[in-house]
Chains A and B, each alone.
Chain A
Amino acid sequence: MDIFLQQLANGLTIGSMFALVALGYTMVYGVMRLINFAHGDMVAASAFVGLTIYTQVMGQATSLMAVIAIFLLAALSMAVVGIILERIAYRPLRGAPRLSAVVSALGASLVIQNGIMLIWGPRMRIFPELVPQVYWDFGGVVISLIQVIILVLSLVLMISLYLFVEKTRMGAAIRASSIDQDAARLMGINVNSIIALIFIIGSSLGAVGGLFIGLYYRGITFNMGWQYGLYAFIAAIIGGIGNIPGAMLGGMLLGLFNAFIAGYVSSTWADAFTFILLIVILIVRPTGILGERVAEKV
């Protein structure tokens, strides 16, 4: 029972990180039918940007205000990178064959990854201890302050995003653009702005995810975007790519699944089992658990 509860807590923590990152993949796919392979590398870049803001701008302060500022600045930086990425890597290729955009996405991924290596070096860096090491022991089940922060903040962000997309006028414009861009234009929706908005939101959430990865795992490397990006991408597919609640659900499920495999089987097998899970889900439900929110043209 202890293992169960412990892995439940761990699973929810990593699940929220997967979910935050998965949202970036799914939102871009929803409107552009494009897998933004550079997204995972932007998540990694965010952790390094956070590190630099901490040392260079905040003078290594760990006050609450400083930590909030680090989060905001990192999210802002990645939002800017996201907009630039869309402008130079994807917008010129709209209307081009799909494969061109895929190649461009892979290229952008390599550029960002190598950019991180160029700036911060190829060796692992240690992410600062922005949150005090506080632990609570509930009869053998240990939960850290970092875990609580990650979980709560992720939930707040995800619920806000959900409400924004479902309840606001701009959210309706996002949904309309992801269903039928031409019809959305006929409504007066500026689809280019919506796409920029999607990149801003997705990149900022990914940036928060990257900082969480730094906080939780501490060691950050220039190429970690591949690994975390892949997991988040799988989470998005499990939930149903293009489907926003699906990415949240897929991220949480994948996090829990990973934690339980690590707890009951072995963490070395977690990757293999993850792919088995993906394959099983795709066999049973090819469009993911909540279904793709895209192809349903009437």
Chain B
Amino acid sequence: MFRTLMITVLSLVVIGEAGAPWELATASPPRLHLIEIQAFRFMPQQTIVAPGDRIRWVNRDIVPHTVTAEGGVWLPRILSEGESWEFAVEAGGFYAYFCEFHPHMKGWLEAH
């Protein structure tokens, strides 16, 4: 544990000396989150993200589904089998979405 910490500290020092901005060491880079539509469910149903992260939905079912935001935060997308779509979360908040074709399919993103 102590050893790992030492290595981390040392490498930060090295980055620092190389002139990289210190912010890079503390703020995590944007991540890509995969949400699979499978068996008429969004999986995972709940995804915790940070503002700036990207979400990719992929339809693994054989029938088309939609990714539709409550309140029209993004334009609804229809995904046929194998298709995917990405959305970048810009601001923190709670984003609920569902499938228009099969409205029992619901999911949400929590950005903070």
Same complex for A and B? Answer no
Residues of A within 8 A of B (CB): none
Residues of B within 8 A of A (CB): none
